[in-house]
Structure 1
Amino acid sequence: MAETKEVELAKRGVEAFVDRANELHHQGRHAEALKQLQRARKICEKKLGPLHNSTVKVLFILSSMREIDGTLRKPADINLHFTFFDNTMEEPHYRNNIDISRILRRRAYVDELGVSAELEFDEFDGESRHVLGSYGDAPACYARWRVNDNAAIIDRVCTLHAYRYRGVARKCLQHVAHDVLCCASRLKLTLHGLVLLVPQQHSTIQQKLAEASFISLDGSVGPLSCVRMCLPISPEAPPRFPSLGLVDI
């Protein structure tokens, strides 16, 4: 049991270094990013071994950061872009994106909000559509959605600390809304609203959503005690999201 706990702590340490390296790489601080990855590699070598998934991932990122001549590679794209994925896709593509999103969610919900990993990574992951927002190759934000009755449930919205207060979450939700409507049209589903699950402690977010025509539904739901904020869907106009600011948790 002690060995399992040690491995888990090592994995979390590696994830933190990789996450920070991605942020630094995007900010143009390539040498600092490289140092973070080298620290992650040392943990892998000492605690996890050469065949562990975390070790393989760190070594891959290290190799991908350099050009053929050995110089550090710059991010290919400095714009915020979004990748949608679900378990109907090819396993390597799906698994890689899930692994990256879990690092992000662990930082935002487990480390910052104190949510247990058992509650954070629940059974809805397998039946949800996921979206990962990135600046270049650096992950910045995440959300997921699924259909329940006649509504699209959106939850686990989060943004890494370095990218907050830039409207990242609002852009993420706009892309989620577009994806929901496209999927509903393709599958001929009739949806009456988008329901955003907001952690109960984020009262400011709830107020901002209420000002933007979201309706607060009765009672909290789920093990994270989230408030349900519903935005009715109008067939005449796509859903719009305000500048949410503090939704970037």
Structure 2
Amino acid sequence: MNERRVLVVEDERTIAESIAVRLRAEGFTVEIAADGPSAVAQFHAAQPDLVVLDVMLPGFDGLEVCRRIQADRPVPVLMLTARDDETDLLVGLAVGADDYLTKPFSMRELTARVHVLLRRVERAAATPPAIRLGDIEINEAERRVRRAGSDVHLTPTEFDLLVHLAGRPRTVLPRERLLADVWGWGDGNGTRTVDSHIKALRRKLGADLIRTVHGVGYALELPL
């Protein structure tokens, strides 16, 4: 199997090099960019399988980098934040980040998150046929979603969450279970991550597609 390629976008050289050394030791090919414009250019040139992306960058910030690369092609993004700021986090998830780590973090945790994100994409790529929900068509093999005949751009995590819900229609799935099954998180922390991705799916595919069961979780509603 070809080596997986990771783009690390971080303006603090020591941190960038430390991440690169650890990921290379794990068998990844790693490219580094230190500012927003070079990150986008490197993304187009290297075609990475995953991006580790700091929020605070020279040129333009990581949120803008995330917007631009996700508009080009869906790719898993692990965002690094300097503080646990809910606004930064929610905006990051809204523009296409799949996961986040707050500095300082351990290299062991970062590599574990990278492996989880890549395994999720690989698992989903191996699954077949189209799922139809009214005018929505989910093609798992191609990882494409169409609504009323038009393509809908979803991030990798939004796609995986939608497929997971669609595989269990009308079943109420607790946030903690979604975190475990879709994100691979076992501690139950991070429910706002689930909420943010549900909001994104409703915005892109219709407000009535996913029902909220307050205090419990979410269920996908089948169109009549």
Q: Give the structure-1-normalised TM-score.
A: 0.27
> More relative contact order in 1 or in 2 (CA 8 Å, sep 6+)?
1
**Which has more radius of gyration?**
1
Larger helix proportion of the pair:
1
When normalised by structure 2's length, the TM-score is 0.29
